[in-house]
Amino acid sequence: MTIRTQRKTVVFSHHFLLKGVDRLLPPGNYEVMTDEELIEGLSFLVYHRVSTTIIVPAQSHQAASVEMVAIDPHDLEAAQPTRAQQPPESRPDGEQMVGV
């Protein structure tokens, strides 16, 4: 069984709620890891998502404490602001959104 892990950083510029975490999370950079398992026996490579986790600040008095929480990728996507809600300076391509 072959498993690969993909890591990405998700940036939140405002406090946010995430299903599976019972508190309001502060703005910042969050590391998200997705583990995928290779489906064997096919003539091409196909991976199946096994788990997705996010590293969040722990609910403790020590600033360096963190915890890893299993999440649904759809819940993470729902917690992220849409491109229209993001200020232009936070968009990767610097695209300007004009109100209608």
Question: What residue segments make up the domains of the chain, in order of their start?
Answer: 3-90
Segment 75-93, tens digit of pLDDT: 999 988 765 445 555 444 4
pTM for this model (two decimals): 0.73
Segment 51-76, tens digit of pLDDT: 999 999 887 767 778 999 999 999 99
Task: Report the pLDDT averaged over residues 39-46.
Answer: 91
Average pLDDT value over all residues in the chain: 82
If you write DSSP's letter for every residue of the chain in order, what string do you get?
--EEEEEEEEEESS-B--TT--SPBPSEEEEEEEEEEE--SSSS--EEEEEEEEEEE-SSS-TT-EEEEE--HHHHHHHSPPGGGS-GGGSTT-------
pLDDT at residue 64, rounded to an integer: 79
